[in-house]
Amino acid sequence: MIDKIYCVDVQPDMEGKRVKLAGWVYRKREVGKKVFIVLRDSTGIVQAIFKKELSEGAYEMAKKAGIESSVIIEGTVKADPRAPTGVEIQADRIEIVQNVDFFPITKDASEEFLLDVRHLHLHSPKVAAIMKVKATMMQAAREWLLQDGWYEVFPPILVTGAVEGGATLFKLKYFDRTAYLSQSAQLYLEAAIFGLEKVWSLTPSFRAEKSRTRRHLTEFWHLELEAAWMDLQDIMKVEEELVSYMVQRTLELRRSEVETFRKDLTTLKNAVPPFPRVSYDEAIDILQSKGVEIEWGEDMGADEERILTQEFEAPFFVYGYPKGIKAFYMKEDPEDPRKVLAADMLAPEGYGEIIGGSQREDDYNKLVQRILEEGMKPEDYEWYLDLRKYGSVPHSGFGLGLERLVAWVLKLDHVRWATLFPRTPSRLYP
């Protein structure tokens, strides 16, 4: 490993110190007999100035370095308020590790082109900032889950059945059998609670959704929790405490990155428990009062949720959905058999659903009935039904779409920017 420091380490109080840095040529300009190179690394940027009178060899080499060339630079630190970071390096040595004559991404690159060359787009400091925020959100989630006594488990991705409807399964050949890519780890987490009680997993989930909306991917990162003995109210409290901690901790550790994407942090700061709660019935009333044509019993799509979120300045819950629009595993509301004990968490500012959760049906016969009602075969869920035969307990859980949370926090215009290599119906490469 090169004995170097990072751009962020170069500070004005290091005046006169000799330093070595490695990175990529982010910006470059020539003025008279000087070359200014703004070097980029994973921590930020710093300007290096190459003066012909100081080192002709380095000056001539610096002139050759193209944008995004990988370079190693040495020189002396000098405080200079005119430099982008208030300090620069009076460089007397540059090694071009690999020169780039023409970097294909230019200022006028289209979004589709950026996705076509996503492997090169990852050079971008803005993309790196998104990935740092995403990583910090998961660091925060792990911190919270550990201190609150949750066990991480590692469920299978190759599965034999649907959790969220057969229409969005990706099928694959598994030797002489058929397998599917997991839509959700939920059913396996439900099995894990009998030994561990409170479990969580972060897995890729797959949905063969043809929806071409700004919030759908065909592969997304899914943070899921499941807990024995918890009812819907209990799990909603877990959701709001977890999301609040993830958001506030990210503001604490990554505020400069967040502010790169949004100046108004109000809704993020408002993300503290208790989050507002509205019933599905109230949500329908709100939408109808705003002229939306929606009837009780219908699902809210992205457009309806966008309108509903205008009523809130923080993440909020919608609870008490009609049974007909929700999944087979959700427990019927004992007080209203038309409904299930389900709640979604919606992000404000038009982002909508970021979490789907519910209390699960823990009665064997009722679950068999729900499976049949949904046109599914109980024999396909034999192992899952066993969970209701051997010490069944009330239990609840939820799934958080990590890209959707990041998209809201950074106000991204599409979830695809929140993932390293987005997968959508039209994009499988690179």
Ligand X SMILES: NC(=O)C[C@H]([NH3+])C(=O)NS(=O)(=O)OC[C@H]1O[C@@H](n2cnc3c(N)ncnc32)[C@H](O)[C@@H]1O
Q: Tell me how long the chain is.
A: 430
CA separation for the pair 120, 415 (Å, rounded): 19
Q: Is 295 exposed, middle or buried (0-12, 13-18, 19+ CB in 10 A)?
A: exposed
**Cβ 354 to ligand X, closest distance in Å?**
5
Using CB under 5 A as the binding rule, whether residue 352 contacts Mg ion is answered as: no
Pairing of strands 316-319, 342-347: antiparallel
Q: Compare residues 163 and 371 and give the one whose CB is closer to ligand X.
A: 163
* Look-up of token digits 């290096």: 48
Site for Mg ion (CB under 5 A): which residue of 23, 315, 350, 356? 356
Report CA 137 to chain centroid distance, whole Å.
8
**Cβ 199 to ligand X, closest distance in Å?**
11
Exposure string for 175-185, b = 16+ CB within 10 A, e = fewer: eeeebbbbbbb
Q: Compare residues 59 and 317 and give the one whose CB is closer to ligand X.
A: 317
Q: List strand residue ranges (DSSP E) for 65-188, in order.
A: 70-79, 87-98, 151-152, 158-159, 171-174, 177-181
Using CB under 5 A as the binding rule, whether residue 399 contacts Mg ion is answered as: no
What are the beta bridge partners of residue 76?
A: 18, 90
**Cβ 154 to ligand X, closest distance in Å?**
15
Report CA dihedral (280, 282, 283, 285) to the nearest 10 degrees: 130
Partner in contact with 315, chosen from ligand X, Mg ion, none, beta carbon below 5 to 8 Å by kind: none
**Cβ 8 to ligand X, closest distance in Å?**
33
Question: Are 280 and 326 in contact, with CB atoms under 8 Å apart?
Answer: no
For 391, other C-beta atoms within 10 Å of its C-beta total: 8
**Cβ 353 to Mg ion, closest distance in Å?**
6
**Cβ 399 to ligand X, closest distance in Å?**
3
**Cβ 304 to ligand X, closest distance in Å?**
15
- The three-state secondary structure class of 349 is coil
Q: Compare residues 80 and 209 and give the one whose CB is closer to ligand X.
A: 209
Partner in contact with 62, chosen from Mg ion, ligand X, none, beta carbon below 5 to 8 Å by kind: none
Chain contacts with ligand X (rule: CB under 6 A): 163-164, 184, 186, 207, 209, 216-217, 220, 222, 224, 353-357, 397-401, 403-404, 415
Partner in contact with 132, chosen from ligand X, Mg ion, none, beta carbon below 5 to 8 Å by kind: none
Partner in contact with 359, chosen from ligand X, Mg ion, none, beta carbon below 5 to 8 Å by kind: none
* Look-up of token digits 């997991």: 182
Q: Compare residues 320 and 356 and give the one whose CB is closer to Mg ion.
A: 356
- The three-state secondary structure class of 307 is helix
Partner in contact with 23, chosen from Mg ion, ligand X, none, beta carbon below 5 to 8 Å by kind: none
Q: Compare residues 36 and 316 and give the one whose CB is closer to ligand X.
A: 316
**Cβ 275 to ligand X, closest distance in Å?**
15
Partner in contact with 80, chosen from ligand X, Mg ion, none, beta carbon below 5 to 8 Å by kind: none
Q: Compare residues 184 and 244 and give the one whose CB is closer to Mg ion.
A: 184
CA separation for the pair 336, 421 (Å, rounded): 44
Q: Give the total of residues touching Mg ion (CB under 5 A).
A: 1
Query: For binding to Mg ion (CB under 5 A), which residues are involved?
Result: 356
